[in-house]
A and B are shown apart, each in its own frame.
Chain A
Amino acid sequence: MFALFKWEELFTDWKEFAAGFGVTVLVSLISLTAMLVLSVTAGVIRTSGSRIVKTFLLGFIDFFQNTPLVVQLFFMYNVLPRMGLMLSPFACGCLGLSLYTGAFGASIVESAINAVPQGQKEAAYSQGMNYIQTMFYIILPQAVKIALPPLTNQAVNLIKNSSLLEMIAGGDLMYHADSWASDTQYYGPSFVVTGLLYLALCLPLSKIAEHLQKKAAAV
């Protein structure tokens, strides 16, 4: 692992790792956007929709939360083509990650909306606001503050989980690291560099989450 020539080899092949890193960042950004949209929509519906819709949605959320992402990804990769829907590994990854993390995000948004005092809603109604105005101008801005720290943690989880794309040949950082390592047999250096790259992505985010949490606790 500490032999110098292995590291030299690794740094001559840096493009391989850079390509993987790019894919990981891209997948994370796309899924993060989709996941935010999904979780806010689902969270709002969970607090105000009709009962049948709410129960239906809870079933979905529970299912995605309690089954492994691996099973979901393999399902999309192996089974959907048999049903006539062929997705690229990249698309599979984006879809799976945003649905899986979105399920967790939905619970976070739901409990954040519930944490805003009921009086706020009543006050808004008494001022003649309708439901949508109340939600957008009064409830959601307050809920965002509560939901932000756990959502940032979910973003970290999403980036880490994007390494599962390796299993469906998604071409992300983990995939390139693993294939480079099995080509050259230099496992140690490859995994150390990969770990550092993931750390560079996730450590700032989780520090931000920690900071937000402290700020929320201080108020």
Chain B
Amino acid sequence: MSAVFTADNMIFMARGLGVTLVIALFTIFLSFIFGSMLGIARFINKGWFSRFAGIYVDCIRNIPLLLFIIGFRFTLPLPPMVSAITAMTVFTASMVAEIVRGGLYSIPKGQWEAAYSQGFSFVKTMAYIVLPQAVKKILKPLMGQFVSVLKDTSLCQVIAVKELMYSGMIVMGKFVTGTQVIIMYGFIALVYYVVNTVLLKASERITF
């Protein structure tokens, strides 16, 4: 037990957690922006950009994230962290787009018609009437997706990004007995569990 939780190990793991959080935050932020754009474009369903968004979402959503992470690392000249964030953003944007589109579709037609009858333009209807209602419906699935992003950062270990899981594996390299390894795996699982639960609980408290 004391061999597992030494100060050195913990600092090393904390650094790993930091990398995990950095990747997750960048991915969440970027994929939220791109995903919303794609989702709104798919909802409007007019013009070349919405057609592109449809194809993009259909293709990217049905290919495993691991393929993007490995593929981008080996084919694009980017540093490991950047290529990991790019791959995860490309993938997550398509998931977010579907969630946003679903939320927009769930707003009844009557809301649009009422706003138009009051002389609102399309953009104003979107900004003042539809989006504020859609945000409430989007929030829960979106948070679920962001928890997925946090879990999926563990895939970045295949391209040797030193995130939590990879740091854990490195630390495990110097353990001798099976008990130490088991404790370490339990500890890693617990850290992911706590971070995700905190994120979920925090999102439940957001009210509009």
Contact with A along B167-178 (1 / 0, CB 8 A): 001000000001
B75 sits at the interface (CB 8 A): yes
Contact with A along B69-95 (1 / 0, CB 8 A): 011001100000000000000000000
CB-CB under 8 A from A16, the residues of chain B are none
B63 sits at the interface (CB 8 A): yes
> A66 and B71 in contact (CB under 8 A), knowing A75-B185, A82-B181?
no
Contact with A along B158-170 (1 / 0, CB 8 A): 1000000100010
Identify A67's interface contact among B58, B64, B151, B181, CB under 8 A. B151
Q: Can you list 7 A-B pairs with a CB-CB distance of less than 8 A?
A: A71-B185, A174-B66, A194-B67, A199-B59, A201-B62, A202-B62, A203-B59
State A50–B44 Cα separation when bound (angstroms).
Answer: 48
State A174–B71 Cα separation when bound (angstroms).
Answer: 11
Interface residue stretch chosen among B4-12, B122-130, B191-199: B191-199
Contact with B along A163-194 (1 / 0, CB 8 A): 11011000000100110010000011001001
B147 sits at the interface (CB 8 A): yes
Q: When the two chains form their complex, are residues A66 and B75 in contact, meaning their CB atoms are under 8 A apart?
A: no
* Residue picked from B64, B66, B75, B154, most chain A C-beta under 10 Å: B64
Q: When the two chains form their complex, are residues B71 and A191 in contact, meaning their CB atoms are under 8 A apart?
A: yes
Main secondary structure of the interface of A (DSSP, over half): helix
B155 sits at the interface (CB 8 A): yes
Which 10 residue pairs spanning A and B have beta carbons closest together? A82-B178, A202-B62, A163-B64, A68-B151, A68-B154, A66-B196, A191-B71, A160-B64, A70-B154, A187-B74
For this complex, into which size category does the number of interface residues on chain A fall? 35 or more
CB-CB under 8 A from A187, the residues of chain B are 71, 74-75
Chain B residues engaging chain A, CB cutoff 8 angstroms: 58-59, 61-67, 70-71, 74-75, 147, 151-155, 157-158, 165, 169, 178, 181-182, 185, 188-189, 192-193, 196-197, 200
A74 sits at the interface (CB 8 A): yes
Identify A203's interface contact among B62, B67, B151, CB under 8 A. B62
A198 sits at the interface (CB 8 A): yes
Beyond known contacts A68-B153, A166-B158: 16 more, CB 8 A cutoff: A62-B193, A63-B193, A67-B151, A68-B154, A70-B157, A74-B185, A79-B178, A156-B62, A160-B63, A163-B66, A191-B67, A191-B70, A191-B71, A198-B64, A199-B59, A202-B61
Contact with B along A1-18 (1 / 0, CB 8 A): 100000000000000000
CB-CB under 8 A from B197, the residues of chain A are 62, 66
Closest to B192 in A: A67
Q: When the two chains form their complex, are residues B62 and A199 in contact, meaning their CB atoms are under 8 A apart?
A: yes
Write the nearest CB–CB distance from B12 to chain A, whole angstroms: 17
> A203 and B58 in contact (CB under 8 A), knowing A78-B181, A195-B67?
yes
